[in-house]
Structure 1
Amino acid sequence: MTLMNTTGSSTTPIPLAPGDRIRFGIEPRRPYTVRALSKNFVVCTRHRDFATQGEFVYTVIDWRSGIRGPVTVIGHSMDVSTDQQCRDLLDDLEVGRWEISHRNRVQLDILDRGEA
């Protein structure tokens, strides 16, 4: 069952809290953990496949556009290993310093969520 599937337009946010787990349709076997959230964005991370401890992959949900993806930065490398770094990324998104990559965004496709 898909909890949310958008068409790239403004989406009503679902209730989330830091620590909640989200599975996305495009990668259902790799759940992400909510690390920081605001009215417009959610920063989620998961451990990088086959990596040493502390290496993360991240995605940002944009409720306003109904999309998710990494921010526009060369190599998509953004240090999101601490909650503070995730909140800093969120703050930068809110003020327009960063945006979600146009090349690597996908439509928002939340399969399910599990509470912390």
Structure 2
Amino acid sequence: MNATGSPTTPIPLDAGDRIRFGLEPRRPYTVRATSEHFVLCTRPRDFATQGEFVYTVIDWQNGIRGPVNVVAQSVDVSTDEQCRDLLHDLEAGRWEISHRNRVPLDILDRDQS
């Protein structure tokens, strides 16, 4: 899906907050890292062993979310440091949200930690 969004006013999110998205309302994500323009969220991969995560990156400027544009979205987000590094690369323009796998930003609600 090559979705487009519109700039979205960032909502305050901190590491540890839980967030639900409209396309996945029963699978809450946990905020792992934040930067000026992006938020990285993870949830455990379905039927996975300990430490395997699905991730999505919120892009406030473009009003979208999704994985980054690497083959098979194979980015390791196991640690908070890896999550922060990924956001740093996004801020620096080395990565971007996947054009094929992005969706419009669809935040339902959040629970603060």
TM above 0.5, yes or no, is yes
Please provide the CA RMSD for this pair. Answer: 0.7
Identity fraction in percent: 79
Alignment correspondent of 2:40: 43
| Corresponding residue pairs, total | 110
User: Does residue 65 of structure 2 align to residue 62 of structure 1?
Assistant: no
Q: Report the Cα distance in structure 2 between the residues aligned to 1:91 and 1:35, rounded to whole angstroms.
A: 13
Paired letter, 2:9: T
Alignment correspondent of 2:21: 24
Alignment of 1:52-91 (within 5 A): 52-91=49-88
Specify every segment of 5 or more residues in structure 2 that has no aligned partner in the other structure, as ranges: none
Question: Which stretch shows the higher mean deviation, 7-16 or 91-100?
Answer: 7-16
Tell me the alpha carbon deviations over residues 39-65 of structure 1, each in whole angstroms, 9 at most, x when there is no partner.
Answer: 100000000000000000000000000
Q: Report the Cα distance in structure 2 between the residues aligned to 1:106 and 1:46, rounded to whole angstroms.
A: 17
Tell me the alpha carbon deviations over residues 66-105 of structure 1, each in whole angstroms, 9 at most, x when there is no partner.
Answer: 0000000000110000000000000000000000000000
1:108 is aligned, of 102, 105, 108, to: 105
Tell me the alpha carbon deviations over residues 8-43 of structure 1, each in whole angstroms, 9 at most, x when there is no partner.
Answer: 011100111000000000000000000000110000
User: Does residue 11 of structure 2 align to residue 8 of structure 1?
Assistant: no
* TM-score of the superposed pair, with normalisation by structure 2: 0.96
Alignment correspondent of 1:4: none
SS of equivalent residue, structure 1 residue 87: helix
Q: Report the Cα distance in structure 2 between the residues aligned to 1:54 and 1:87, rounded to whole angstroms.
A: 17
Q: Report the Cα distance in structure 2 between the residues aligned to 1:13 and 1:103, rounded to whole angstroms.
A: 24
Return structure 1 stretches of 4+ with deviation > 2 angstroms.
none
SS of equivalent residue, structure 1 residue 60: strand
* TM-score of the superposed pair, with normalisation by structure 1: 0.93
Q: Report the Cα distance in structure 1 between the residues aligned to 2:54 and 2:110, rounded to whole angstroms.
A: 18
SS of equivalent residue, structure 2 residue 49: coil
